Structure 1
């Protein structure tokens, strides 16, 4: 089922309560999703005592050493004939942003997607056991209800299949996935990256079909990187870094359940992105408890390209906020001036607060 995000609740709180809540989202910006992130990273291997899972071959766990637990986790598997090094850069990237990542190999480099799905599920069990191993630096620091999976090529197809097999998986990041005739009836929010010029897993034969095969009731996003090849999403630097920013935002939103990241996607990263040749999505940030047409005040046109007209009768003060609850500007509407001008702002979602109402404005 689609999630109803709590942006409106957050928005009202930033107006009616002290600025403490606003501070929670102030530092969550596109510019701050850097590679690497703010946290220091360490690793664990089987030599350090982590479990040797039967459904995969070797593993490295990347974890933050100075972030505040509990941590969400993600398991990542490479593609056909590929080694863990092919997707290794994702490990320290996620960990440096507070997400534990386990990168695994496969028992055979020729394993097909279904075997890679089982390998991912087995890897999550290894992470789960670290939460209870009394000599592990991750003991009691993991949220074992916040697990995600990812993979490249056949590993990407395997990550989708893992979500079908294990309904407790909270998110999927499929990197140029390869899986013909996909059966993907699951509810795990899925992000699919593809490369426009991928000759190994052409989007029309794989990624696009995966998106269509995932139920419309499941939150999903497909981001096709312009001129990208089959390995364009193997690192967070793909698409001039936008691949990492979108993947991290997706996991923070759906696995870490941090709603501050939803407007980063809807209002910034996915608005006419220069790195994309195609974007398909079926998810949204919605106002909580404010159904359409529930306002006494009417604004039109909405969406707008420039200004909106407001049907007020008496002089009314208004304030405009962005989706992070930050004040942009304010003014007074009266009989001779009933317009609010958005022409100097980027495309996206804005909120107008006037009297006891909050109105959502879309500039396109």
Structure 2
């Protein structure tokens, strides 16, 4: 090789080496940036969570709401849709919530804006009658999901593959019924649930059951605990028993219910592993938690 050739290739090698170094830095920066993480999980929504962010009365998203008349729907009794106003983050997962026996959607309305502000479309519903039983409430939850994703004014904001159900009391029993009927659901959260059926081996949906230590209407020993124990061990499942709480604790704003509901919905509807930290290791007993059980298989 001539001296001229060496003079030419030397600078080229140095330039190539510099380019490779710059590319490596850019690559490392990209891998560590929030955008890259979101690209790995296209369903991830909102900033990285903290203890205070999931305990807050409102999350990072501004929320709007729209009323749905019972006259405009079939299969359930209408309700209120709460949804993030942002259109820059794409679609959101959706959750339908049923009230309990003799109750209206107003009894669980606090959950609407609280969950929606964390990045979900939330539909709090009225049932066909206030005395509907759990099996009927389960069907109504599914009818409401179908309306929400197929006919509602916000259907374009929803990813119909990322859906969940919640409910209080008989609505909680209905939540189990809905999960049993539609295994494609991504999350179920029964709140102080009541149901004559005590075993749920058919449920494949990730399920968080929230009971109350002072519940005399659906005592945990005959409802929430056997419900949880009967869920397949292969199913992502958890049991949270509220401390110093009653059957009606889910009817008023409750930080513990909100904190773990948000974490569960984020983890399983959005596949967002940033929320694993609040679910596993299992939360310990505290002033608000009497007991927490779970199998934590979702932690990698």
TM-score (norm 1): 0.67
2:290 counterpart of 1:280: no
CA distance 1:51–1:69, shift in 2 (3 Å): farther
Over 3 Å counting, the alpha-carbon distance change for 1:284 and 1:29 in structure 2 is farther
Q: Give the CA deviation at 1:76.
A: 0.5
- Contact 2:236/2:298 (<8 A) preserved: no
Instruction: Tell me if the contact between 1:176 and 1:195 (Cα under 8 Å) persists in the aligned partners.
Output: yes
**1:282-361 mapped onto 2 (5 Å cutoff):** 282-287=295-300
Residue range with higher mean Cα deviation, 242-251 or 51-60: 51-60
Deviations along 1:133-191, whole A, 9 cap, x unmatched? 6xx3x253210000100100000000011011111211101100001232421110001
Partner SS, residue 111 of structure 1:
coil
Query: After superposition, where does 1:15-26 map in structure 2 within 5 Å?
Result: 17-18=28-29, 19-21=32-34
Does residue 1:252 correspond to 2:266, yes or no?
yes
Quickly say closer, same or farther: Cα 1:26–1:127, change in 2 above 3 A.
closer
In the TM superposition, what are the counterparts of 1:222-237 in structure 2 within 5 Å? 222-235=239-252, 237=253
Specify the SS of the correspondent of 1:45: strand
Structure 1, residues 291-347: CA drift from partner, whole Å, max 9, x if none?
xxxxxxxxxxxxxxxxxxxxxxxxxxxxxxxxxxxxxxxxxxxxxxxxxxxxxxxxx
C-alpha change, 1:221 and 1:121, in structure 2 (3 Å) is same
Q: Is 2:118 aligned against 1:97?
A: yes
Match of 1:61 in 2: 81
Deviation at 1:232, TM superposition (A): 1.5
Residue 333 of structure 1 corresponds to which residue in structure 2? none
When the two structures are superposed, what TM-score results if normalisation uses the length of structure 2?
0.81
Q: Contact 1:74/1:149 (CA < 8 Å) preserved in 2?
A: yes
Change in CA separation of 1:125 and 1:51 when aligned onto 2, cut-off 3 Å: farther
**Alpha-carbon RMSD:** 2.2
1:205 and 2:226 matched: no
Q: Give the distance between the partners of 1:217 and 1:99, measured in 2 at CA.
A: 27
Distance of aligned partners of 1:286 and 1:76 in 2 relative to their CA distance in 1, 3 Å threshold: closer
2:160 to 133, 144, 151: 144
- Distance in 2 (CA, whole Å) between partners of 1:253 and 1:196 is 26
Compute the displacement of 1:286 (Å): 3.9
Which is richer in strand? 1
Q: Secondary structure at the match of 2:52?
A: helix
The aligned counterpart of 1:36 is 58
- Residues 285, 55 of structure 1: CA spacing in aligned structure 2 closer, same or farther, 3 A cutoff? closer
* C-alpha deviation, 1:53, in angstroms: 3.0
Partner of 1:123: 144
In structure 2, C-alpha distance between the alignment counterparts of 1:39 and 1:51, rounded to whole Å? 30
Contact 2:267 2:276 in 1 (8 A): yes
Partner of 1:80: 101
Instruction: Name the structure 1 match of 2:170.
Output: 154
Q: Secondary structure at the match of 1:124?
A: helix
Structure 1 residues not aligned, in runs of 5+: 1-15, 288-364
Unpaired runs of 5+ in structure 2? 1-26, 39-45
Distance 1:230 1:98, change over 3 A: same
Give 1:173's aligned residue: 189
Count of aligned positions: 261
CA shift in 2, pair 1:274/1:23, >3 Å: farther
C-alpha distance in 2 between matches for 1:51 and 1:35? 32
- For the 8 Å contact 1:175–1:234, the answer to whether it is kept is no
In the aligned structure 2, how far is the partner of 1:273 from the partner of 1:254? 25
Cα drift, residue 17 of structure 1: 3.2
The 3-state SS of whatever aligns with 2:156 is coil
Q: Which residue of 2 aligns with 1:45?
A: 67
Q: Name the CA distance, whole Å, in 2 between partners of 1:98 and 1:51.
A: 28
